[in-house]
Chains A and B, each alone.
Chain A
Amino acid sequence: MGKPTDLVQGTLDILVLKTVALRPMHGWGIAQRIRQISNDVLQVNQGALYPALHRLEQQGWIRATWGESENNRRAKYYSLTRAGVRYLEQQQEQWARLSGAIDLVLNAT
């Protein structure tokens, strides 16, 4: 397996939303989780992660609460709002359409 690659432009939001949809998570956890689930292929640029989280929070897709981390530190946990759930569904559909279309083009013979 090669070096972890940077994310495709514009996919960070949907990855973050999907990750916090599973359970509330802090920024660090989100980055780790995305890397683990993608078998170390997807590497979240940490400089971009926090602005994205704050933007999603301001847009009302996720909400933040403070809680204790696994090693008993105070950490900011993000979870999906109800509006965020619907938004994620929309974005997932859109992504499925887009990636399906790209597959079609690439596999054309």
Chain B
Amino acid sequence: MRWLHKLSLKLRTLFHHQQAEQDLQDEIEFHLQSQTEEFLAQGMSPEEARYAALRSLGGRTRLEEQCRETRGVGFIEHFLQDLHFGFRMLRRNPGFALIAVLCLTLGIGANAAVFSWIEGLLLRPFPAVEHQDRLVVVVGTNHATRDKGASGSGYTDVSWPDLRDYQGNTTFFDSFIADKIMGTTLSIGDKAERMAGSIVSSNYFEALGVHPMLGRGFEPAEDVGRNAHPVTVISYWVWKERFHGDPAVIGKTQVLNGGVPDEFQGGDRV
């Protein structure tokens, strides 16, 4: 129970600081009075006796300070004192305080903004992707416009047969995925809305290591051949905002691009 005793003393010093101080003063005063009385009995004058008693303690202020130090919470006390002092100074100079707060606000805000920008662009551009350090983009080059500068855009899409060849004949990469960003029209009820989306190969989610929260991604061989059929995966945002987070959207048929019914297969939080 010794630690409990010690803790209660420390808490008392912190939260009943005045009482602890008063106790210290009273204790030393009691000692001084007792000592003074002894000196009086030895025949000193009252002033002499009091002075001699003080001297026998070897400096009252220093003694009190030594006693305070034994409490071992000096650093907390000093910190609180500094804090109080800081607040008082800020209240005394409201203009300075305002500018200081403003500077800190702007500084922290700007730093946070820049960091999240850098993080999003450079450090973790695709947060949900499992091995983004191994992600590379393959683009085709267009011989006709290749040497005509930036505006000429020497790049072009990789054709589907080329992709099949890469997939079949390359061992250097784990897998190839196709991703063509384009827009589509999402119709819910009597409302239609322009949405950004991608047409992707069926191994898209598997290769990126992204798993839909609800439903499923694409099955292999769902993109070409006899078993091919349109499957849509929607983003978490669309699911929350346009479908109100309804889990029953899985498996429903959804109209995209006005009228062509696509089978609707799941939600994903990318």
Contact = CB atoms under 8 A, between A and B. Distances in A.
A68 B238 CA distance: 78
Given A47-B59, A58-B9, A83-B2, A73 B30 contact: yes
B6 interface: yes
A102 to B, nearest CB: 29
Nearest to A52: B70
B72 A27 contact: no
Interface stretch (A4-12, A74-82, A92-100): A74-82
A69 interface: yes
B26 A58 contact: no
Nearest to B5: A60
Contact of B70 (A46, A55, A63, A76): A55
A51 interface: yes
User: What is the interface residue range for chain B against chain A?
Assistant: 20 to 34
Interface of B: 1-3, 5-6, 9-10, 23, 26-28, 30-31, 33-35, 56-59, 62-63, 66-67, 69-72
Given A59-B6, A81-B2, A54 B70 contact: yes
A46 B59 CA distance: 10
Given A28-B35, A50-B27, A76-B23, A60 B63 contact: no
Most A CB within 10 A of own CB, among B10, B34, B62: B34
A26 interface: yes
Given A46-B58, A81-B2, A75 B30 contact: yes
